[in-house]
Amino acid sequence: MSTTAPDRQQENPLAEGLALRRTPDPCALVIFGASGDLTHKKLMPALYALAVRRLLPPRFAIVGVARTGGDDGSFREDMANAVKQHARDPFRQDVWDELAAQLHYLATDFADSSGEDKLHGLLGELDEKEELGGKRVFYLAVPPPAFPTIVEALGKRRDERGWTRLVVEKPFGHDLASAKELTATLLEYFKEEEIFRIDHYLGKETVQNMLALRFANGIFEPIWNRQFVDHVQITVAESIGIEARAGYYEQAGAIRDIFQNHLLQLLALTAMEPPIDFTSASVHNEKVKVLRALHTPAPRSVVRGQYGRGFIEGEEVVAYREEAGVAAESMTETFVAAKLYVDNWRWADTPFYVRMGKRLARHETTIAIQFKEAPHPPFEESAAEGVRPNVLVVHVQPDEGVSLAIGAKVPGQGMTIRTVHMDFLYGGTFRTGMPEAYERLILDTMLGDSTLFTRADEVEEQWLLVDSIVAAWQRDKPSFPNYPSGTWGPPSAEELLHRDGRAWRRP
Ligand SMILES: NC(=O)c1ccc[n+]([C@@H]2O[C@H](COP(=O)([O-])OP(=O)(O)OC[C@H]3O[C@@H](n4cnc5c(N)ncnc54)[C@H](OP(=O)(O)O)[C@@H]3O)[C@@H](O)[C@H]2O)c1
């Protein structure tokens, strides 16, 4: 166990072994987009958390690249502030000093070839000084239009002595055609196993716990199918609006921002067959089978919405169309709900109801497996009127954990049954802070493990479905806005389930 792990974690026997992981090879991590939001809010705080836990390679260098002017000194200062503001651990000067000594900055533009020469030169120097052996992780934290220029420059100057890994941030394309084009560009210079497409949801502990829950426990798998499961509900709800991202969001909408990647990945992990092992190829193979089995929903099985004015936590908020940078008549959707079917033996005829949106009543991501009702209740109807069918809920965020709704007898003379919840709360059980998704994902790229990333064929299947939904949307024009901020979406989302005699879970 790491000597720097929080004391409380050491007291807990369940937490034993939590810090035991392979340490990556010495390497250089080059972050393109080092002056951007992602680097400040996620990447640098994650690197700091890894440093606190001594999980970074013994010999290591981080090179930040961006066009904005600066040098090693200003970059270190900027990153120290980012860590103080966004890291999950308190700032420790000793840890920071060690990490800061490994930080370098290159102000350059890859649109002109001097950029690649400078980077090549700097990496050569660092290789020699730190004995990094030509091992590199290139992290593309830049807007997608900048990808091809950088990829081409890197591909042409590959260092064949060590290994090379390329991390690509979302969005991976805008539709199937652009995703294929991007993959083709990457494959010109990199092998598929060198490409790490980030879907940061897959780095979340509770998403991985879905796999542990299903495949490390004998009791769930036999009932994880159409015979026992009535339906599945997946909710990715945000209470925030689009913040300052109108430029991106107006083009993407909820379907490209969340549905195409995070939501379909959660569905794939829920519905996939048990992989024969936990290697990345086996996991990807099973996920892609689910994505292939998803067929295009009928237009009436897809609902879209856009938020109007309303209240979030007592504060009045503006409508989507009133947000800075959004067109006054914008038809961009901020909410999508759909009924999907996975056409295979395990799930045929079992609906997967999914919904995601902004400015909803609560910030939460959950996967709920609703089981069928008990076939024959031997109790009087009135005794069991408070009983609902069993539901297993995986709380991805916040309050990470799992809860199972079961019928239990109310104490007393009669036989009255009520639904109660058996809860497992992650933080409470393991008494440890939850790692941020980016910590796990950055470490995995250095370790060369792409299990928690998205393979090209998965991305393409996801786009195929999204393209077919978006094509159907061209035919009608809903009246937007159609849900007030602070609610659970438009009434048609409720009707989607009511038509089937069901209802959305209420948190
Ligand atoms: N922010 C998030 O939480 C988040 C979450 C998921 C995915 N992402 C993805 O991560 C990427 C970066 O997002 P961000 O929010 O950090 O964006 P951002 O704040 O706009 O930063 C973009 C970065 O890329 C650099 N850049 C911009 N245009 C460039 C060009 N043509 N060539 C080279 N560098 C260029 C910028 O630096 P200079 O102008 O100094 O060159 C800046 O460092 C995007 O693909 C985004 O979709 C971000």
Catalytic residue among 40, 104, 231, 262: 262
CA of 117 to the centre of ligand 1 (A): 22
CA of 450 to the centre of ligand 1 (A): 23
Q: Please report the pLDDT score of residue 375 as a whole number.
A: 80
Q: Pick from 31, 67, 116, 200 the residue to mutate for probing ligand 1's pocket: most ligand atoms within 8 Å of its CB.
A: 67
Among 165, 161, 94, which Cα is nearest to 131's? 161
- HEC string of 378-392? CCCHHHHCECCCCEE
Which atom of ligand 1 lies closest to the CA of 200? 6
Here the tokens at position 344 are: 């295979």
CA distances from residue 117 to 113, 146, 316, 373 in whole angstroms, order as listed: 7, 18, 52, 66
Task: Using alpha carbons only, give the angle 246, 251, 254 rounded to the nearest 5 degrees.
Answer: 85
d(CA 337, CA 322): 23
Q: Please report the pLDDT score of residue 9 as a whole number.
A: 41
Q: Please report the pLDDT score of residue 168 as a whole number.
A: 96
Contact 371, 267 (CB under 8 A): no
Which atom of ligand 1 lies closest to the CA of 144? 45
Q: Which domains does the chain have, with CATH numbers?
A: 7-169 (3.40.50.720), 202-374+425-436+454-498 (3.30.360.10)
SS3 content of the chain, % helix, strand, coil (to 5): 40, 20, 40
CA of 346 to the centre of ligand 1 (A): 41
CA of 34 to the centre of ligand 1 (A): 8
Q: Mean pLDDT of successive 10-residue segments in the chain (507 residues)?
A: 40 50 89 96 97 94 94 97 96 97 92 83 94 95 92 86 94 95 95 94 87 91 96 97 93 96 96 93 96 94 98 96 97 98 97 98 96 82 74 90 88 83 81 83 94 95 97 91 97 97 88
Beta bridge partners of 403: 393, 423
Here the tokens at position 22 are: 């392979």
d(CA 86, CA 457): 34
Q: Dihedrals φ, ψ of 440, to 5°?
A: -60, -45
Q: Please report the pLDDT score of residue 34 as a whole number.
A: 96
DSSP tag of 418: E
d(CA 68, CA 495): 50
DSSP tag of 453: S
Q: Please report the pLDDT score of residue 397 as a whole number.
A: 86
- Specify the residue with its C-alpha closest to ligand 1, atom 41: 67
- Specify the residue with its C-alpha closest to ligand 1, atom 2: 38
Give helix then strand counts, H and E, for the chain.
Answer: 16, 17
Contact 489, 336 (CB under 8 A): no
Q: Pick from 37, 40, 119, 198 the residue to mutate for probing ligand 1's pocket: most ligand atoms within 8 Å of its CB.
A: 37
Residues with C-beta less than 6 Å from any ligand 1 atom: 33-38, 41-42, 66-68, 110, 141-144, 146, 169-171
CA of 413 to the centre of ligand 1 (A): 65
- Please report which residue ranges of 4-90 form alpha helices under DSSP H: 7-11, 37-38, 44-52, 72-86
Residue with tokens 């064949």: 160
Q: Please report the pLDDT score of residue 378 as a whole number.
A: 76
Q: What stretch of H or E contains 289? A: helix 280-293
